[in-house]
Copies of this chain bind each other. A is one copy, B any other.
Amino acid sequence: MLVQDIFISPLENALVSWVEAFPKAKIAPLFNHPTVKPKKAEKGSDIVFWLHMNEDRQEWLTNTISTIQQTYSVAKIVVLANAPNQAEALYALSLGVVAYAHAYSPAKVLLEIKTVITNGGVWMGQDLLKRLIEVSTNLAGNQAAQVDQHLKLLTKREKQVAIEAAKGLSNKEIARILTITERTVKAHLSSTFERLGAKDRLHLALMLNKKA
């Protein structure tokens, strides 16, 4: 089976690792560029588009993915990001992209990605998946139990502070109703973030306010 690899990148020349991984790949600045126009009709042929993502091309990404999907329903799309970030990765994957990786990944990794996706898999970094799992276990699972699980990790005082913070109260307000200093509230919250792996009070609130 013929598999065509097409890199869409603003770069003039493909990166070394790209060439190393796929010597026969084509590269073009835009999708639908004449030099890379794949033969659509060819039956059983697989096409992999490797989209090189710059920080400031979010919209381009969205449009390109959409166009590719409309034109080649079976094509696989991989996003190679100069500066990978979780939000973008999630977004891309939700659009149907089958892999999201660093643009400067070594050839070895690129080949691995290729193997995985041509076998129907989806490739993504470990950190991102961890995050995904965190988020969705909170949203999906036994919400009530999940929340208790979280609260169980906290000391009595931390629990009180966390609950108030999750309601949307400010540190000052919490301090008043618990008759402690604002500083102490901060201390309890910091330790709470640490224990629960929350980024800030908003994430804490989301953790403790999962719908039942």
Contact = CB atoms under 8 A, between A and B. Distances in A.
A147 to B, nearest CB: 10
Interface in A17-62: 55-56, 58-59
Contacts of A125: 120-122
A153 interface: no
B135 A139 contact: yes
Contact of A112 (B115, B122, B133, B140): B115
A4 to B, nearest CB: 20
B168 A59 contact: no
Interface stretch (A8-16, A154-162, A183-191, A199-207): A199-207
A98 B126 contact: yes
Interface residues of A, number: 56
A90 interface: yes
A194 interface: no
A45 to B, nearest CB: 19
Contacts of A74: none
Contact of A202 (B90, B137, B168): B168
A129 B92 CA distance: 13
A126 B115 contact: no
A90 B124 contact: no
B87 A169 contact: yes
A134 interface: yes
A3 interface: no
A203 B168 contact: yes
A182 interface: no
Given A132-B136, A133-B93, A137-B90, A168 B120 contact: no
A195 interface: no
